């Protein structure tokens, strides 16, 4: 008996080639988006790993197209909500330098790459030359999901005007701000510092944040006599994402990763809805695991409910999920040596039977496929792909037809280019790690 070793592939009818990933190039090859997006208010664009040049470039092209051709008015991404205010002010013509905004207006290392700087510069240039401005929003927890200081300080700054008689217990702020500097490289030290706190100290921090939230909610009308509605709502959202960070850290300290992930994704879904009250249509950039419309499985965890499931339930057809796959190249290193400067690792060829392998076998260049408009044969091929590369070398169980509306495949991905000016503005632990990294 002869075994059939031919890899499954999509038919040519399912493939929409992308002419280029160059964000400055012509956009005509993206016309397939016109029908695909329909009346969606949120178009979520996934990525299989952070900090790849090609994913940044793909998103930049889609940003241009959706803003220029469809009037989308906001770009929201997986970075801190509190810090994103600085990036938004700059792209709307505010003062300051781009490198400062890249280092401090985006969190979790999302901003220190040349390709992300190009995103921000394009938005600022667009806003300066058109009458249809585009805004920038972070959707994630503050302080690179490490430090509560940025969120707490944003709230206290607001209360100086809205509630000048309020005084936060200095011990509370000292506890919140003493855990770690706001950098992705601080996460292990932050969790260790939290674990070393007395239970009474942890509980006092949680209680103080809850009391502050109750105070802000209960005195809303009083505050609105002194401030604008927008300032109040932004401060309240800043407090709520800071409260979520506290619950996430508490969950991680007791080893409950599922609770931490669920709490985080619930908060970022709520933040997207908060943005939708201000913007008609949003481009949403986050990892595949956040944007997908079905439960997510990560190593050592039971399935959890990602942001995309929550938004799909609330928005229905108003939510469009674009997943992404990649072939070979380089990917974010998920090992412990990431924290000592080994930021990327080689990306092996996709695992047979995975969505990534199906896409890689179907076309040599970048392409898109609309999972809602497949032939029966192509539908069967996608249905048979029951796994997808999720984090590093880990493949999660997947049902692509349930998870995404469209998928874009990039055959070869590389590390994004660090922006040296932005790195010079970053925290010292970020500078040290990048100084030890030797790009391929």
How confident is residue 262, by pLDDT bands cut at 50, 70 and 90?
Answer: very high
Asked if residue 80 lies in contact with residue 109, where contact means CB atoms within 8 angstroms, the answer is: no
Strand bridging mode 135-140 / 74-80: parallel
Structure-token match 């397939």, residue found: 32
Model confidence at 1: pLDDT above 70: no
Model confidence at 300: pLDDT above 90: no
Model confidence at 239: pLDDT above 90: yes
CA gap 432, 206 in Å, rounded: 33
In the prediction, which pLDDT does 4 show? 40
* Average pLDDT, integer, range 366-386: 97
| Three-state SS letters, 71-86 | CCCEEEEEEEHHHHHH
How confident is residue 178, by pLDDT bands cut at 50, 70 and 90?
Answer: confident
Hey, what are 258's tokens? 């599922």
In the prediction, which pLDDT does 66 show? 97
Question: Could you tell me which of 146, 131, 198 has the C-alpha nearest to residue 176?
Answer: 146
Instruction: Read off the pLDDT of residues 381-425 as tens digits, 9 standing for 90 and up.
Output: 999 999 999 988 899 999 999 999 999 999 999 999 999 999 999
How confident is residue 189, by pLDDT bands cut at 50, 70 and 90?
Answer: confident
* % of the chain with per-residue pLDDT over 90: 87
* Average pLDDT, integer, range 268-293: 98
Per DSSP, 185 falls in state G
Instruction: Read off the pLDDT of residues 62-102 as tens digits, 9 standing for 90 and up.
Output: 999 999 999 999 999 999 999 999 999 999 999 999 999 99
DSSP strands (E only) in 143-259: none
Of the chain, the end-to-end C-alpha distance in Å amounts to 44
**Minimum mean pLDDT range among 117-126, 127-136, 269-278, 368-377:** 127-136
In the prediction, which pLDDT does 355 show? 98
Model confidence at 310: pLDDT above 50: yes
In the prediction, which pLDDT does 6 show? 55
In the prediction, which pLDDT does 406 show? 98
Model confidence at 5: pLDDT above 50: no
Instruction: Read off the pLDDT of residues 141-174 as tens digits, 9 standing for 90 and up.
Output: 999 998 999 999 999 999 999 999 999 999 998 8
In the prediction, which pLDDT does 340 show? 86
Average pLDDT, the chain: 94
In the prediction, which pLDDT does 181 show? 74
Instruction: Read off the pLDDT of residues 338-356 as tens digits, 9 standing for 90 and up.
Output: 988 899 999 999 999 999 9
Whole-structure pTM value: 0.96
User: Which of residues 175 and 219 earns the better pLDDT score?
Assistant: 219
* Average pLDDT, integer, range 100-111: 96
Instruction: Read off the pLDDT of residues 13-44 as tens digits, 9 standing for 90 and up.
Output: 999 999 999 999 999 999 999 999 999 999 99
Asked if residue 139 lies in contact with residue 77, where contact means CB atoms within 8 angstroms, the answer is: yes
Instruction: Read off the pLDDT of residues 421-440 as tens digits, 9 standing for 90 and up.
Output: 999 999 999 999 999 998 87
């Amino acid at each position: 008996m002869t075994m059939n070793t031919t890899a499954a592939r999509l038919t040519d009818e399912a493939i929409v080639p992308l002419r280029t990933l160059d964000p400055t190039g012509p956009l005509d090859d993206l016309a397939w988006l016109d029908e695909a997006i329909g009346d969606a208010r949120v178009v979520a664009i996934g990525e299989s790993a952070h900090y790849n040049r090609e994913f940044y470039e793909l998103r930049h092209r889609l940003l241009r197209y959706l803003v220029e051709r469809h009037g989308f008015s906001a770009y929201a991404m997986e970075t801190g909500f509190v810090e994103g205010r600085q990036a938004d002010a700059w792209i709307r013509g505010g003062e300051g330098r781009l490198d400062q905004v890249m280092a401090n207006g985006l969190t979790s290392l999302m901003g220190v790459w040349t390709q992300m700087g190009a995103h921000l510069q394009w938005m600022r240039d667009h806003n300066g030359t058109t009458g249809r401005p585009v805004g920038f929003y972070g959707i994630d927890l503050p302080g690179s999901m490490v430090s509560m200081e940025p969120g707490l300080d944003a709230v206290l700054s607001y209360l100086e005007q809205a509630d000048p008689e309020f005084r936060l217990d200095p011990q509370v702020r000292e506890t919140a701000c003493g855990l770690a500097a706001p950098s992705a490289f601080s996460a292990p030290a932050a969790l260790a510092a939290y674990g070393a706190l007395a239970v009474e100290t942890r509980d006092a921090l949680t209680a103080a944040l809850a009391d502050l939230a109750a105070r802000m909610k209960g005195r809303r009308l009083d505050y609105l006599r002194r401030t604008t509605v927008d300032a109040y709502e932004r401060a309240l959202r800043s407090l709520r994402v800071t409260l979520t960070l506290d619950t996430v850290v508490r969950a991680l300290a007791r080893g409950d990763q599922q609770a931490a992930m669920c709490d985080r994704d619930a908060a970022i879904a709520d933040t997207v809805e908060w943005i939708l009250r201000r913007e008609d249509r949003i481009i949403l950039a986050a990892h595949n695991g956040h944007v997908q419309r079905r439960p997510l499985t990560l190593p050592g965890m039971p399935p959890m409910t990602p942001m995309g499931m929550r938004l799909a339930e609330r928005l229905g057809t108003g939510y469009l999920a674009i997943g992404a796959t990649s072939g070979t190249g380089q990917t974010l290193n998920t090992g412990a040596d990431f924290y000592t400067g080994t930021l990327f690792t080689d990306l092996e060829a996709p695992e047979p039977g995975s969505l990534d392998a199906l896409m890689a076998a179907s076309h040599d260049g970048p392409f898109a496929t609309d999972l809602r408009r497949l032939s029966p044969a192509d539908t069967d091929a996608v249905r048979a792909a029951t796994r997808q590369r999720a984090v590093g070398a880990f493949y999660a169980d997947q049902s692509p037809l349930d998870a995404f509306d469209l998928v874009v495949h990039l055959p070869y991905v590389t590390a994004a280019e660090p922006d040296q000016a932005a790195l010079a503005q970053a925290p010292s632990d970020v500078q040290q790690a990048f100084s030890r990294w030797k790009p391929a």
